[in-house]
Amino acid sequence: MTAAAAPILVPKHEKTADTAEAAERRQVRSAFTFLAPSLIGVVLFLVIPVIFVIILSLTQWNLLTPIRWVGFSNYANIFRFDGFGHSLLVTAYYVLLNIPFQTVLALGLAMLLNNKLPGSGLIRVICVLPFLATPVAMGIVWNWFFSPTTGIINELLGHIGITGPAWLSNSATAMPVIAFANIWQYVGYNMLFFLAGLQAVPAALYEAAGLDGASKVQQFRRVTLPLLRPALLFVLVTSVIGSFQVFDTVYVMTDGGPGNATQVANLNIYNTAFAGFRIGEASAMSVVLFVLILIITVAQFRYFNRRTVYEIA
């Protein structure tokens, strides 16, 4: 049989449709068919734009006149004339106000609500509600809450004899208020990921730790936190990337003011590109912001990978 099959292998092969090779070829063909739409999407709307924005950052262009090549001068000009350095500092300040509180609160909420007691499920839904509301609309509602004349915050403060500041038109309080609004909006969403991570922690681990006499704090540090590392990495990476790009709430709450106290990077890019029509400078800003986010993201991955290896096993 084997001896006879060898010489006629090639012609026979084409006829029997179900040989391994034909099946493999068929699988490759359907794999690329399945992949085609998302691949086109990723290349067309993500890969090409990234290359394109780098090229644009080396030009001067207002969308109408011909594109002019200017080399790296945009990168100097955005810091010299457009206050982009200030925008980056303001953004960093926002991220520092936002991320620590948001992450710790999300983790705390998840630990509090990770049980089957009646009411926990309802509160979970309530915590995620803000994520479903449009940030634009909520920003406007917070504007109203923090309004110095008609706002509920200053009304409440008035009852206990404190004259509240003009929150959003005061350069010291404007950014904290924006950070508060965003924490309120996204803490429940991030809680979902911690909750999912906690549910994957075997209860047996806590029992064992409890039997070994581990205190509550020790259990948290030695059992919960290590096992939550993947969830923590996910939440930190996505929320840091997100908060470096904060736009919606700032746009409706302060529009960068007072002065330029809340002129975050994304708002500066938006204004430069779509109000000033200086596409080259705005592209240079995007590239700088992208590189910054990339460095921070890679740093987070490396930090977590170094510390996760032995604990996950």
Partner 1 sequence: MASVASVTPASAATAVTVAEPPKVSRGVKLTLFYLLLLIIAIIFLTPYLFSIFAAFKPLDQILSQSPARPPTSPTWANFKDLFTEYDFGRYLANTLIVTVILTAGQVTFSMMGAYAFARMEFPGREGLFWMYLATLMVPNVVTLIPLYVMFAKAHLLNTYWAIFLPYVLGVPQVVFLMRQYFMTIPKEVMEAARLDGCSETRILWRIVVPISRPIIITATLLAFVFGWNNFLWPLIVTNSNSLNVLTVGNANFSSNFAVQWNLILAGSLVALIPMVILFSIFQRYIVRSISLTGINR
Residue 177 Cβ, how far from partner 1 at the closest point, in Å? 13
Burial 100-131 (b: 16+ CB within 10 A, else e): eebbebbbebbbebbeeeeeeeeebeebbebe
CB closer to partner 1 out of 26 and 221? 26
> What are the tokens at 30?
């359907």
CB closer to partner 1 out of 28 and 89? 28
State the DSSP H helix or E strand holding residue 60, giving kind and residue range, or none if neither: strand 59-60
DSSP β-bridge partners for residue 69: 59
Residue 265 Cβ, how far from partner 1 at the closest point, in Å? 8
Residue 244 Cβ, how far from partner 1 at the closest point, in Å? 7
Of 101, 284, 126, the residue nearest 180 (C-alpha): 101
DSSP β-bridge partners for residue 59: 69
d(CA 96, CA 240): 10
Of 160, 185, 26, 39, the residue nearest 106 (C-alpha): 185
∠99-102-105 over CA atoms, to 5°?
140
CB closer to partner 1 out of 137 and 225? 137
Place of tokens 């890969």: 47
Residue 193 Cβ, how far from partner 1 at the closest point, in Å? 6
CB closer to partner 1 out of 49 and 85? 49
Residue 171 Cβ, how far from partner 1 at the closest point, in Å? 21
Residue 279 Cβ, how far from partner 1 at the closest point, in Å? 6
Residue 170 Cβ, how far from partner 1 at the closest point, in Å? 19
State the DSSP H helix or E strand holding residue 68, giving kind and residue range, or none if neither: strand 68-69
- The answer for residues whose C-beta is within 8 angstroms of residue 114's C-beta and 6 or more apart is 120, 195, 198, 199
CB closer to partner 1 out of 104 and 312? 312
3-state secondary structure of 304: helix
CB closer to partner 1 out of 97 and 109? 109
CB closer to partner 1 out of 5 and 203? 203
- The answer to whether the beta carbons of residues 264 and 250 sit under 8 Å apart is yes
